[in-house]
Copies of this chain bind each other. A is one copy, B any other.
């Protein structure tokens, strides 16, 4: 099977940057299959990239090499990293972009990229995606062992991950960590946390509600479980608790963006929103 190199950046579609990275990958590994994950991550938005990388990577076959570059600190002394976890490899700047991947893979091996023999003949101070990360990804795709990119690196940069807090029995405080192009709100509530919450109500999803901007929203199984234009909460495709509007834009309709607080509440079977 030909090795896959998957790219995730904030380089957009109006400049040469995405193309130059691909050229650099192919110069190192001509047989690579290059696929784009996303290049319209908002400029400099490392959090969004961290979310997208974590949400996308598990769909790929083992052996895939990911290049994730949102890199406002390029040219400073921030390190470059190459990471191996669950058969995947990840290459990019050490600025928090791997926070969620590392949280999912505590066993990950993290190395600093220091082997200049792998770099482009000339390394600019502003475009390490082309000059360092692309070539390194190409060589990894070609079979280079992780150890050969540089030494093991301690303490990769990680964003603080806000935990879901239990406010009182049957009520939890969460928040929105991502808004997608459809306006769906993904929260910080992981599948395991959601399972814990559902366990409290005996596994019955109709016995929890989600409150966003004062609006009480039922927990359902699919968008279509509520009428068009109405809000619902469900286990999203990335595993996390998600708030959506059926065929509508939840972010706009609810007036909630990244960071917006979200309450999850167990309800008495008698009425929605009633606190236990």
The answer to whether A37 and B12 have CB atoms under 8 Å apart is: no
A34 contacts chain B at the CB level, 8 A cutoff: yes
A94 to B44, CA, bound (A): 37
Taking CB atoms and an 8 Å cut-off, the chain A residues in 1-56 that contact chain B are 1-2, 4, 6, 8, 11-24, 26-27, 30-31, 33-44, 48, 51-53, 55-56
Taking CB atoms and an 8 Å cut-off, the chain A residues in 206-230 that contact chain B are 221-225
Contacts of A77 in B (CB 8 A): 224
**Which listed segment binds B: A119-127, A169-177, A195-203, A267-275?**
A119-127
A141 contacts chain B at the CB level, 8 A cutoff: no
A52 to B16, CA, bound (A): 5
Chain A: number of interface residues, binned into ranges: 35 or more
The answer to whether B38 and A15 have CB atoms under 8 Å apart is: yes
Chain A to chain B contacts (Cβ below 8 Å), 20 pairs: A13-B40, A14-B38, A14-B41, A14-B48, A16-B37, A16-B51, A18-B36, A19-B52, A22-B60, A24-B59, A43-B182, A59-B134, A72-B247, A74-B223, A75-B221, A75-B224, A76-B224, A125-B222, A125-B234, A126-B222
Q: Which 6 A-B pairs have the closest CB atoms?
A: A19-B37, A75-B222, A23-B59, A13-B40, A127-B237, A23-B60
